[in-house]
Structure 1
């Protein structure tokens, strides 16, 4: 099979489950929810919390403004990324600081928290003197 058999849509054009970004942005929230994965769909169908609704309002206000350079600060790592967020910048809280996340079309259907990790990888150095029984015999120089 060649590559062309797997492609959907035109080359370079983003589609999500057969819909272009413009079509997704014109849809109602319930219509978009039908296209999302089960966990995100259930989150929307059960009703978003007051904080989530406030974040949606902020995002729609930022989307209407021409200069949307300032990121939208949020602690809501469990907010599903909707088509209306594309092009906006969020500052997502990692537990220590707010880190920037620029929303791209490929992120639709994921959560904001997936793009900023809360844990860092640990790289252990050499064991200190007295850390283990065998470290007695490690030369100092």
Structure 2
């Protein structure tokens, strides 16, 4: 088989008529048609323009993501704090607490400003040494 047929005829209707008159059958068939050098140059130009546009959009995306991250961060922190509080049904606070030593029970209790016992533990030996201030103290229980 020859690599080319009808190339001596001008491109267009005459060449198509020659090929149709001399072929055995006409079929639709897919194949890889090479691009012309002009088409390749146009495609390369189009690719570079597309690359530049993609780069610009990615830079905008990066800037927008930084903005979204900055806006989301405090909300995420607040959500985590709220979820933690809901999970534990309490929050950790640092407040002024009042320490009471029960000499008879040998215990120490800490009360918040509302008068709620927030912690109790066994008293240390140095805490059990009575001072003048502790002798006549009213505890609000039996006096």
Q: TM (normalized to structure 1)?
A: 0.21
Structure number with higher helix proportion: 2
* Structure with greater Cα Rg: 2
Q: TM (normalized to structure 2)?
A: 0.21
